[in-house]
A and B are shown apart, each in its own frame.
Chain A
Amino acid sequence: GIQVEQSPPDLILQEGANSTLRCNFSDSVNNLQWFHQNPWGQLINLFYIPSGTKQNGRLSATTVATERYSLLYISSSQTTDSGVYFCAVGSNQAGTALIFGKGTTLSVSS
């Protein structure tokens, strides 16, 4: 099946810093999503981005499907950005569910 690798596994930032999270995948995809899991366990959908670039406030994401990677950018980080960021992909095989990477754990301190 499709493999999803996220890097770095852990990231520690001071408030105000910028960061880039990476997601590599092993096969063609028709679905790619980024999620944030907050410290209480709730998973929030950040982006649905099988290709191209999107921005939402301080967050933006880019997926280069032909090169099989996606990047999540966090600018001017805040303590509320702390948590685990997951990349999840669905392959071009019809009707498949998302496969999740192991996540990047982000800690932002004030």
Chain B
Amino acid sequence: GESVGLHLPTLSVQEGDNSIINCAYSNSASDYFIWYKQESGKGPQFIIDIRSNMDKRQGQRVTVLLNKTVKHLSLQIAATQPGDSAVYFCAENMRYNTDKLIFGTGTRLQVFP
């Protein structure tokens, strides 16, 4: 299938293990953060979000952690499955423009049996 990117940072994990994908954001004024999953040939798909007044938010099998001190965001995926294989992007939302998303570079997650 098509490839979103050929030279992305890649994380390889075994099926069933936990995955941690990291992201550094740039603007200390950002107050809303989103993780997107992008499969080959598809557009980004919303996974989970977090506001800057929180440092942790949990969803189904996913957890987002926010460290505003060092401007760091992470996505944890529990019991990683083959269907989790994709490119993951973090995006930040600028406080003064609530509709403008700034996307990070992306990390490719590969799940092997």
A in complex with B: no
